[in-house]
Structure 1
């Protein structure tokens, strides 16, 4: 079946609402995308294995659909009439990553082929190895050094191949995520403890080494602004965000200290030596250990192509972004 291209327009009270299917709406970037889309006037659907339970607890206006992202028929049914499919679904805690991730992107491709939707994929820096450092562009070689990075490359390759058959997609790559509702991240799992007051921060990087961060609402806003520029996008298109660049590892720590009212915040070194042993029992620790190289050398993705299309990149000030993140983690009062 040949997909029917659906133009993306900003919905208003006098126009028909555009429909977005968000896979992974309970996760960090999926939730941020769902909320931004609702604010823009989109009708947002979300697929969940316990849809009735989610609908009863949610007052945001999301249309929860019963189903599983691993079941192609469920994704196709939920995507009927959708203009975009936000593919923000990942196995919880990185469990069975290799067995689950590629089938799920295949299901989104099948659903997009039927509905004519554009797939929106939040990308990462894991696609790149040392040969692309220190400032990879969208066209830099992708020779990842981790298992997760290799899978990320395969996901994008499948989207690129699908574009030849009429399935449109958009990949926005960004640095380490932080923000409200972000459970599996360096910020919330490696540096601080959710639910506890901030008394110290464990920093994974070397002193003086820059690190690239991405605030979830900024990533979501960037993706939506690109969606609203459909006429400027290729069938398969990629963009890089600059996000929050910490040139020497001190800006993030200082912002945490200010948000927590602890300007003299104690900084601890990350126990990298423990990771191999912990990784035998905890998948998250194994995944964190694999990306240690990103904390030992600077990587700052080039966002010039994004600026050329949008004119500017959405950017929340450091203090506001960190304060919102800590409040979402229940480390400080909202």
Structure 2
């Protein structure tokens, strides 16, 4: 078994849990930073050691990491503050992750997204696609990644693995569970955009495995690197058809009430932050992953129907979608 060690920041979150499970399955030791207690799925794993501290307290974080068993080869920043608090929290969280990785001499890894490409993002996104800081979140992400790149002069090795919207894993808080499948038990499919548009999705367990495979090649990642994870780039109609087949029933398509969200955003900051992202549903887009394939070979890719089948029960467990129809339950249970 490998003695490699990864420090995962935000390990109690949805992405952090998926990353921790993928790294342990690959034989890594995991230092799991979180402000709150880790979920039982992680505490039950002997390779996982909890580091209970605030991620912005870089001095304590570094001390705990150095006291833990094993030299840390990788720091994975899975921290994701609430949408409406990015301006306040994202810069200090990113700075702490960067300083910790630099002090440990570890590769810093970050899950990226498509925000960097701005409101007018083209249909195909490559590493050569211009980044446009024309939205608040685009400006923050571009600045964050630029700081990682600049730190290469200080000896920091880093990689951003950019992906589409998450689905799967344990927990809630994504477009998939808060919109698309939120009313699945009522026979409704809530879609934020045109069903004919391609949208970039990342099945979280696949993305987590890709991070493990990239981390295993850290010796080839000197300086700063960016990679794209293609995931599932599909039209809304394809998602609808696949979900209908899994559920064994027709679903009624409902539109997301963007107007109400924009109006409510005048008093509810989280609604305003979500409404700012409407452009992602007006612009068909997908990520091209040639550089990732050159590094690790064929990326992990669970077939869409299987990925959806595995995702919906996790949402049911979290109490988000509870189908009342026994036939529906039988159809979607793994």
Using structure 1 for the length normalisation, give the TM-score. Answer: 0.88
* CA distance, structure 1, for counterparts of residue 173 and residue 15 of structure 2: 11
* CA distance, structure 2, for counterparts of residue 249 and residue 148 of structure 1: 24
Q: Who is 2:114 aligned against?
A: 125
* CA distance, structure 2, for counterparts of residue 129 and residue 101 of structure 1: 18
Give the 4+ runs in structure 1 shifted more than 6 A. Answer: none
Q: Who is 1:86 aligned against?
A: 76
* CA distance, structure 1, for counterparts of residue 33 and residue 306 of structure 2: 31
Which deviates more from structure 2 when the two are superposed, residues 292-301 or residues 252-261?
252-261
Q: Who is 1:8 aligned against?
A: none
* CA distance, structure 1, for counterparts of residue 200 and residue 40 of structure 2: 36
Q: Who is 2:208 aligned against?
A: 220
The within-5 A match list for 1:124-273 is: 124-130=113-119, 132-193=121-182, 197=185, 199-246=187-234, 248-262=235-249, 264-273=250-259
Structure 1 gap ranges (5+): 1-11
* CA distance, structure 1, for counterparts of residue 306 and residue 199 of structure 2: 19
Are the equivalent residues in 2 in contact too, given 1:124–1:173 (CA < 8 A)? yes
Structure 2 gap ranges (5+): 322-328
Larger helix percent: 2
Q: Shift of residue 56 of structure 1?
A: 10
Is 1:306–2:296 an aligned residue pair?
no
Are the equivalent residues in 2 in contact too, given 1:212–1:245 (CA < 8 A)? yes
SS of 2:284's partner is coil
Q: Who is 2:305 aligned against?
A: 319
- From 104, 109, 116, the counterpart of 1:115: 104
Q: Who is 2:14 aligned against?
A: 28
SS of 2:72's partner is coil
Are the equivalent residues in 2 in contact too, given 1:47–1:78 (CA < 8 A)? no
What whole-Å deviation, never above 9, does each CA across 1:88-118 have from its counterpart, x for those lacking one?
A: 1112x32422111111111111111211111
The count of aligned residue pairs is 315
Which deviates more from structure 2 when the two are superposed, residues 112-121 or residues 135-144?
135-144
Using structure 2 for the length normalisation, give the TM-score. Answer: 0.88
* CA distance, structure 2, for counterparts of residue 119 and residue 284 of structure 1: 29
